Amino acid sequence: MAFAVFIFALLLKVSTALSSQNITHLFSVVLIFGDSTADSGNNNYINTPLKADHPPYGEDFPGKIPTGRFSNGKLEYIKILKKVVGIKVEGALVSISAGTNDFTISYYNLPSRRDNFSMDDYHDYILKKLQNFVNELYKIGRRTMVVSGLPPMRCLPIQMLSRFSRTCLTDQDTDARVYNLKFMKALPQIQSSLKESRIMYTDIYTPMTEMIRNPRKMVYLWN
């Protein structure tokens, strides 16, 4: 959810600046492709041990009751908006938030990938999948994309609780940072191969680390 909040705050700031200058919007719509950090739905109907039907999920709901949503559901208004104005994808800004689950679930917590890849090779494997997805978006006409890096996965609740710990794990400290550096290094080549594309990297590692270290600065604490 931190990524979604970050993108919303960024767009709000840009929108405010543009409106004050009486300038039209840069993008007709924002399309977000992501995992639970961007998805406002739930997976209650899926047979999976990874659920959001327990605290602290539901913190923003009446009675603080979790419903299975990985986010707080406040993005739901977009469904109503679509019915009124439709959705225009020409000139869309595409936001890609993916990769975290590939590490936290498929590599760290389950042996499905760990048995076949070293961490360095797995970085390259996921980056190749990401590049293929960017290429597919480009083929259908998308030109402006924002790709988020990995968060500090060692500090995510799913990782800490897997070790029955309430502190960040030390043995997963560099994995996300190395992946992010690899992507930033590959980005110029990816963009040069896709003419007229604008592909930007978004650092979510740094702001999320700051949120974790200084939660009171965010004025959002859960007991």
Stretches in the chain below the pLDDT threshold 50: 1-5, 8, 10, 13-15, 17-19, 84
* pLDDT digit string, tens, across residues 159-175: 888 777 778 888 888 99
- The pLDDT, as a whole number, for residue 212 is 86
CA dihedral 71, 77, 78, 79 (to 10 degrees): 100
- The pLDDT, as a whole number, for residue 163 is 77
Give the CA angle between residues 3, 135, 91 to the nearest 5°: 65
- Is the distance from CB of 207 to CB of 7 less than 8 angstroms? no
- In degrees and rounded to multiples of 5, residue 47 shows phi and psi of -80, 90
- CATH, domain 2-218, list 3.40.50, 3.30.60, 1.10.3470, 2.30.30: 3.40.50
User: Residue 76: which residues within 8 A CB-CB, separation 6 or more?
Assistant: 40
- The pLDDT, as a whole number, for residue 150 is 94
3-state secondary structure of 69: strand
- Within a 13 Å sphere around the CA of 54, how many CA atoms are in the beta-carbon half? 5
- The pLDDT, as a whole number, for residue 73 is 57
